[in-house]
Amino acid sequence: MTTMRKISQLVGVSTATVSRALKNPEMVLPETREKVLKAVETLGYRPNILAKNFSSGKTQTVVVIVTDLTNPFFSRIVQGVEEEAQKLGYSVLLGDTNDDINRERVYAEMVLNNKADGLIQLDHLFPFEDKDKEIAKTVPMVSVCDAIDGDYEYPYITIDNFAASRDVAKHLISLGHTKIGAIAGKDDSLVTSDRLGGLQRVLQEHNIPFNDDWFMRGGYTKQCGKESMEALLSMGEYPTAVYCFSDEIAIGAIKAIKDAGLRIPQDISIVGFDNIDICEYIDPPLTTVDQPAVEMGQRAMQILYQLINGDAIQHITEFKPYTLLVRDSTGLAPK
């Protein structure tokens, strides 16, 4: 086994100099640093991570809590977290809570109990009760997609959901649609509120009434999208365009429309949200809002790393850019 002492003997310097060359290279003469790095490569030296972690008091592990890992959008965020974590020398422990409050609490408490250094939440439930405040105010934590409720000083990575929904509504109105419905999850999150608010604001600006009967709540799944769309189609009058608050919902809605013998977009236009990979391959390709999921995950890990290392970061909401991708699932309103 190669040790720091063997490297020092090969280079002809002290072990302290080797340590400085590896940890604080700016403190070592360039020629000495080059000799140390060459010896490290030659001998195949690897630092003792366990000893390093023990001395620093850090686990070099972060927890990512996700309510539904089968959601492709969340998977892409996790991909971004993983990519950045590896660069920073961290491992990622993934907690798929399946909307279970108790499971989410267990993962959050891992940070408080020094089993992990920080926490990233994707579309979370925590904190949800007064007894969670100790955890929420103590651990390094970053929220992605949806804001943390309450007076908690934590960074939040998202897009401008209100503005994105305004763009969706303007697109549909430009195609002549005045009968516009929407399908959302069953939650009352900030994301849901902003997406609904953006739609309603543009309808109001164009003197188009918002029909509450055409606003369906289910869940962010294909099955919920299908069932909600079936409910819309069962009404005496149904919308000519439906804005789905996720691509998963939109895919389910498309199936319901086709099962009913209707055409997309000739009879009903459909818009999704997220731009998961399958969107451009389904029939018809889905008009959707693209969120930079991988970049959001990377940025969340970067900020969490700063928090873990004690950097002063104020409560921030960081907005990432989005793009409305117009494809074949939206068209002119039927006459």
For the chain, the first-to-last Cα distance in angstroms comes to: 78
Question: For residue 161, what is the enclosing H or E element?
Answer: helix 161-174
Burial environment of residue 24 by CB neighbours within 10 A (0 to 12, 13 to 18, 19 or more): exposed
Residue 171: closest CA among 1, 27, 331:
331
- Please report which confidence band the pLDDT of residue 319 belongs to, taking 50, 70 and 90 as the band edges: very high
Ramachandran class of 61: left when φ > 0, alpha when ψ lies in -120 to 50, beta otherwise: beta
Q: What is the pLDDT of residues 112-134, one digit of tens each?
A: 777 889 889 886 555 555 555 55
Contact in structure between 63 and 95 (CB atoms under 8 Å): yes
> What is the DSSP annotation of 33-88?
HHHHHHHHHHHT----HHHHHHHHT--SEEEEEES-TTSHHHHHHHHHHHHHHHHT
What does pTM read for this prediction? 0.79
pLDDT, position 53: 43
Q: How far apart are CA 116 and CA 112, in angstroms?
A: 8
Q: What is the pLDDT of residues 202-226, one digit of tens each?
A: 999 999 999 999 999 988 899 999 9
Query: Does pLDDT of 2 surpass 70?
Result: no
Query: Does pLDDT of 237 surpass 90?
Result: yes
- Please report which confidence band the pLDDT of residue 56 belongs to, taking 50, 70 and 90 as the band edges: very low
pLDDT, position 76: 95
Least confident among 15-19, 278-282, 306-310 = 15-19
- Mind listing the domains of the chain with CATH numbers? 4-47 (1.10.260.40), 59-159+293-320 (3.40.50.2300), 161-291 (3.40.50.2300)
Query: Does pLDDT of 47 surpass 70?
Result: no
Q: How far apart are CA 311 and CA 306, in angstroms?
A: 5
- Please report which confidence band the pLDDT of residue 69 belongs to, taking 50, 70 and 90 as the band edges: confident
Q: How many residues does the chain have?
A: 335
